[in-house]
Structure 1
Amino acid sequence: MFFFVLVAIVVAVLLTSIRVIKEYERAVIFRLGRVIGAKGPGIFFLWPIIDSMTKVNLRLMTVEIQPQDVITKDNVTIKISAVVYFKVVDPVKSVIQVNNYFYAIEQLSQTTLRSICGQAELDKLLSEREKINTEIQEILDKHSDSWGVKVTLVELKQIDLPQDMQRAMARQAEAERDRRAKVISAEGEYQAAKKLREAAQIISEYPQALQLRYLQTLNEISAKNNTTTILPIPLDLIRGFSQKE
């Protein structure tokens, strides 16, 4: 009877010592308090009492940085939010080098965001967001490398401007649109005047071209105003009167 009880206890202990880890997880194994490595995915065995484990998720994770108050280099107060994408690449380091790597990444992202954006002017933040994203990502990745964490991407999510700054930028954009419209109009007038000059040179060299243009104009007038009677006068006659004068 004692033998069967002993066998049952052994079987129960063995069953409770079997662990299964999913494909996207790793188990950091501690034996008598010392790290012996990471196991998984799949099934493995833990020695009762002397072994323990900590699961680590290897999937890509995101942390949303809540809006941070930032004073830019040109003394404009704005609110900036961002999203950070990262994943664990070394399960052992992520367990023994930092207490909570997710919280650590979140806090480091907040301070780095305020620091980098505070060193830039507002125009640079608005026009060079990709460059700012890359700069923040490189800093985060450098500091988190010792934690076994890889920061893959940082995206500035939203930049909130003060109301007076928004109105000023709207006026500036409107003035820029007016300037472009005037430049385009002036360019069109310049090109039209240039073409008219070329046409005048051609007509002065070939007087027959003026006669053809005169007949074309009469044709256009007669097509638009059917009730109007047009009596074409030869240009030579008009030219003769002008020469007598």
Structure 2
Amino acid sequence: MELLIFAAILIVFVAFILIQGILIVRQSETMVIERWGRYHRTLSPGINLIIPFMDQARPIMMLSYRGSQPFISNEKRIDLREAVLDFPQQPVVTADNVSIGVNGVLYFQIIDPKRAVYETENLVLSVQTLAQTTLRSVLGKMELDEMLSNREKINAELQGIMDEAGDKWGVKVNRVEVKDIDIPSEIQSSMNQQMSAERDRRAAIARAEGEKRSEILKAEGDRDAAIARAQGEQQAAILAAEGQKQAAILHAEGEARAIENITSSLGANAKPQDAVRFLISMNYIETLPNIAKNGERVFLPIESAALVGSVGGIKELLNPSVVAAGTQQN
């Protein structure tokens, strides 16, 4: 009977030892195991065997928030997934002495559980404190306008600093973002006025550019029109001159043929000057009626009487056919 009791106790003890020695680690989790208080190994996901009482899981201190209240807990299972840390708002004085409130969000992931356990007492608190001090340091070197317009630059600089510092703790900082910037009301009012003035300035510049472009186009149109008019007038003058030239040539050719005809009709003793005087006299006689129309009295120069008198002498030398030919040519 005593032997059965002892056997039962031994079986229960062995079962208890086996149960205590089997650890199931879920995916994306791990555990740091110490043997007799010293680091032994890091468990991988799945079934793991340990020696009870000799091997113990080393807990990690984690800071979390329940609402707005911080809560510190000791966790034996280390979560390897990306975690989000939304640290509260803190005051920052910019390079141009503007007091603002800034809060941000940080995304980090534990990549070395051993260093995360042994290199810092409270991993999340250390990361949060480093993020806050780094944020104040980076933003304190910038002016407010630069801070508001260069958030991507700020995020990249914060991530670089945090990733380098977190490497010692076995933490990978994936990204850091400035979430909210609380600006004092008087500064916000001044910024609104500045933005309004800037919009008015841009609108004035746009109007001026439009008017300038309109004037340029108008001037170019006037210039092209003036060039076109000048070219048209030049072409018209050229054509008119060409017409006058052709008319003068034809008139001169007609006069030359008339002189030749009259000279040939007078015979071998005729002179070309007599034919020219005859044609001038005939033109003068034809013009007299038009001169008389311009007034009641007509004054003729002395030379005209002699010219008319010479016409009779020339006519006697010419036969009627020659006179008719000279008249038709004129």
Q: TM-score range by the shorter chain?
A: 0.7 to 0.9
The match for 2:106 is 84
1:179 to 174, 184, 201: 201
CA drift at 1:204: 2.1
SS at match of 1:206: helix
Secondary structure in 2 aligned to 1:10?
helix
Quick one: distance in 2 between partners of 1:198 and 1:62? 64
Select which of 137, 140, 146 maps to 2:168. 146
Q: Displacement of 1:43 after TM fit?
A: 0.7
Does residue 200 of structure 1 match 2:200?
no
Matched, 1:122 2:144: yes
- Given residue 83 of structure 2, which amino acid in structure 1 is its aligned partner? M
Q: 1:62 aligns with which of 76, 79, 84?
A: 84
Does 1 or 2 have the higher relative contact order (CA < 8 Å, sep 6+)?
A: 1
Counterpart in the other structure of 1:33: 37
Residue of structure 2 in register with 1:49 after alignment:
53
TM-aligned CA deviation for residue 8 of structure 1: 2.5
- 1:128-139 aligned at under 5 Å gives the runs 128-139=150-161
Q: d(CA) in 2 for partners of 1:205 and 1:139?
A: 69
Matched residue, 2:287: none
Per the TM alignment, residue 205 of structure 1 is displaced from its structure 2 partner at its CA by 3.1
Detail structure 1 runs of 4+ shifted over 3 Å in the superposition. Answer: none
CA distance in 2, matches of 1:89, 1:42: 18
SS of equivalent to 1:170: helix
Distance 1:115 1:191 in 2: 49
Larger Rg: 2
Note the C-alpha offset of 1:109. Answer: 1.1
Question: Quick check: which one's helix share is greater?
Answer: 2
Aligned pairs, how many? 210
Q: For residues 151 and 122 of structure 1, what CA distance do their matches in structure 2 show?
A: 26
- The structural deviation recorded for 1:142 is 1.6
Taking the aligned partners of 1:72 and 1:182, their CA distance within structure 2 comes to 32
Secondary structure of 2:153's partner?
Answer: helix
Amino acid at match of 2:36: L
- Among all aligned residue pairs of Structure 1 and Structure 2, give the percentage whose two residues are the same amino acid: 39
* Match in the other structure for 1:243: none
Q: What TM-score do you get using the length of structure 2 for normalisation? A: 0.61
- Which of 10, 26, 49 pairs up with 1:6? 10
Q: What amino acid does structure 2 have at the position aligned with 1:106? A: Q
* TM-score, with structure 1 as normaliser: 0.82
Q: How does 1:224-243 map to 2 (within 5 A)?
A: none
1:80-133 superposed Cα distances (whole Å, 9 cap, x missing partner): 110011010001111111112011111111111112111211111111111111
C-alpha separation in 1, matches of 2:41 and 2:196: 63
Unaligned runs of 5+ in 1: 208-245
Once the 2 structures are TM-superposed, how far is the Cα of residue 27 of structure 1 from its aligned partner? 1.0
State the distance in 1 between where 2:163 and 2:130 align.
Answer: 10
Deviations 1:193-239 (A, max 9, x none): 111112112222335xxxxxxxxxxxxxxxxxxxxxxxxxxxxxxxx
**In the aligned structure 2, how far is the partner of 1:47 from the partner of 1:78?**
55
Deviations 1:168-214 (A, max 9, x none): 1111111111111111111111111111112112222335xxxxxxx
Determine helix, strand or coil for the equivalent of 2:225: helix
Secondary structure of 2:166's counterpart equals helix
**1:113, 1:187 → 2: CA distance?**
43
